[in-house]
Chains A and B, each alone.
Chain A
Amino acid sequence: MSNPAATEHKPSFLERLSQSRNGLGFLFMLPAAVFLLCFLTYPLGLGVWLGFTDTSIGRTGMFIGLENYIWLWNDSVFWLSVFNTLLYTFVASVLKFVLGLWLALILNEHMPFKNLFRAIILLPWVVPTVLSALAFWWIFDSQFSIISWVLMEWGIISRPINFLGDPNNARASVIAANVWRGIPFVAISLLAGLQTIPQSLHEAAALDGATSWQRFRRVTLPLLTPIIAVVMTFSVLFTFTDFQLIYVLTRGGPVNATHLMATLSFQRAIPGGQLGEGAAIAVAMIPFLLAAILFSFFGLQRRKWQQGGTD
């Protein structure tokens, strides 16, 4: 306030701005805000607008109202992709949750080389998805799949499995690859949650004669619920909007059996050139995403109630 230097010369606009709390906040927020407004908020709005136009690559479109959506409503491939996306998200998320929780519980025990195991477990998540998906592509090869070879050696099957050529096999294969990549994130996040649960609660329950299943069901799981809600929301969001795995493994084939909404949107918009239609498919994903976020919000609400907090 009584800074002598400031009173001697007339403070510049920038100096006056940085004196006030809001001015300083504005200055500090400026770089991030510019980026996010230009390359996130504006494109989000632009995407919604493009969904109402017939824009294609190299030609500015004009407003055509709901025509894209009406077209999609009658498009069986679009509905198949919605079905595939829901199936993919549901099955993969459930598997990731169950296996991830199991792995987290294992890693929460005391054992030698625990940190080494924890570090190794995260590798699938660190490596670029496209590159690990290429390895899966090779593992799922129709002729030289290593899985088929081992099963044939053991005499379980007589011919190589057509992993990516048969609709249901292809669905199972892409889900398996997605689960493989998603387990580390779920396991490590849940492990962090497990480590915040005080051991004294387990001791008290054990003294009262609770079995290990009862301790898991009545102590671990309720205390883990808030973090499960957040982790699974992230997991569902990223699975629902998945693109890379499908694009590498099947590109939506065979006969569109693995087309997700994201891959269909890409296919229609970029190779197909119909930007408007692709944008409409992308916009159609938003209600599902909002539902997932709201679900997480109510999952978080439960924590405050459980802990007796008021905030």
Chain B
Amino acid sequence: MSRSTTAAETMQDDIVGMEQFNTLPRRLVVLYLPLAVFVFVLLFPFYWMAITAVKPNYQLTNYAAYSPFWVVQPTLEHIRYLLFETSYPGWLWNTMIVSVFSTVISLAASVFAAYAIERVRFTGARVTGLMIFLAYLVPPSILFIPLAFLVFQIGIFDSRLALILTYPTFLIPFCTWLLMGYFRSIPFELEESALVDGATRWQILTKIVLPLAVPGLISAGIFAFTLSWNEFIYALTFIASSENKTVPVGVLTELVRGDVYEWGALMAGALIGSLPVVILYSFFVDYYVSSMTGAVKE
């Protein structure tokens, strides 16, 4: 406990007595400089996206007269074009519907499955848990061809239902795996005392386990929502008509035409399409981090 540092700083220091090595110039070079480069590189594409979205067309490629890093007279023209002259609002709506429904379906199925695997512990529960994990590892890029075939056979090709029914294939394994971890952390004794008091399994699940697993439900829910919002290959394959497309597919297939790219409108589309998940993320950062690491840790 060095005399020169305040109590608060001593508390923060991880290796007591090593602080003489952490001089400011050293920290500047090994810590803050690389961090600044990382943050710059990771954020620059978003800045570029945003600045392009509000740049008038005459400034867009005229790097000689206007600095490309700044915008002189920002315009909302690209966003207006996007919202009123393309099917963009419809794509946003489709993406929202598909994401909400597939998330709700997956979450409901996963709660029961995770509870059964962790707490009912039927014969073969461990094997089922392992199968769920393996299902999580099956990538959409090897499933989309047979799924397209299947979707066509049952007559839901080119409809939102096709996406709502197929997204749970990657959401259910993920949510179940995550919720299994949460249910495992709830003490057995709570359920046992409820059983002794005469509660049914259904009552235990809805009155005891679920209220305690709310953080897990939020994590799984927002993560599932993000995954379905970002999904691309199924939406690209199963949807043909413009009015049923989701945002990622619509922006890529409908706004890119010919050789002259309307970069302003494209970037505005990318920006607005990212906003819902970014806003959701900004409210629930810790839940995201816990679900991301929770899925990996087990």
Interface residues of chain A, those whose CB is within 8 Å of chain B, are 18, 21-22, 24-26, 28-33, 35-36, 39-40, 42-44, 46-47, 50, 55, 99, 102-103, 106-107, 109-111, 115, 117-124, 126-132, 134-136, 138-139, 143-144, 146, 149, 180, 183-185, 188-189, 192, 199, 202-203, 206, 212, 227, 230-231, 234, 237-238, 240-244, 247-248, 262, 265-266, 269-270, 275, 278-279, 282-283, 285-286, 289, 293
Please report the total number of B residues contacting A with Cβ < 8 Å: 97
Q: A32-B112, A106-B35 are in contact. List 15 more A-B contacts (CB 8 A).
A: A21-B122, A29-B117, A31-B109, A47-B146, A117-B39, A120-B43, A128-B273, A130-B232, A134-B49, A149-B63, A231-B296, A237-B137, A241-B141, A266-B237, A282-B141
Q: Determine the chain B residues whose CB is within 8 A of the CB of A279 once the complex forms.
A: 145-146
Q: Determine the chain B residues whose CB is within 8 A of the CB of A119 once the complex forms.
A: 282, 285
Instruction: Pick the contact of A286: B17, B140, B142 (CB < 8 A).
Output: B142
The reply to whether A132 and B45 contact each other, CB–CB distance below 8 Å, is yes
Query: Can you give 9 contacting A-B residue pairs, CB < 8 Å?
Result: A24-B120, A31-B113, A40-B143, A127-B46, A127-B278, A134-B251, A135-B270, A192-B297, A243-B232
The reply to whether B16 and A24 contact each other, CB–CB distance below 8 Å, is no
Q: Say whether, besides A134-B252, A138-B266, A248-B252, A44 and B146 are in contact (CB < 8 Å).
A: yes
The reply to whether B281 and A40 contact each other, CB–CB distance below 8 Å, is no
Interface residues of chain B, those whose CB is within 8 Å of chain A, are 12-18, 21, 31-32, 34-35, 38-39, 41-43, 45-46, 48-49, 52, 60-61, 63, 68, 105, 108-110, 112-113, 115-117, 120-123, 125, 128, 132, 134-135, 137-150, 165-166, 168-169, 172-173, 176, 201, 226, 229-230, 232-233, 236-237, 247-249, 251-252, 263, 266-267, 269-271, 273-274, 277-278, 281-282, 285, 288-289, 292-293, 296-297
Q: Determine the chain B residues whose CB is within 8 A of the CB of A188 once the complex forms.
A: 289, 292-293
Q: Say whether, besides A18-B201, A103-B38, A199-B15, A289 and B289 are in contact (CB < 8 Å).
A: no
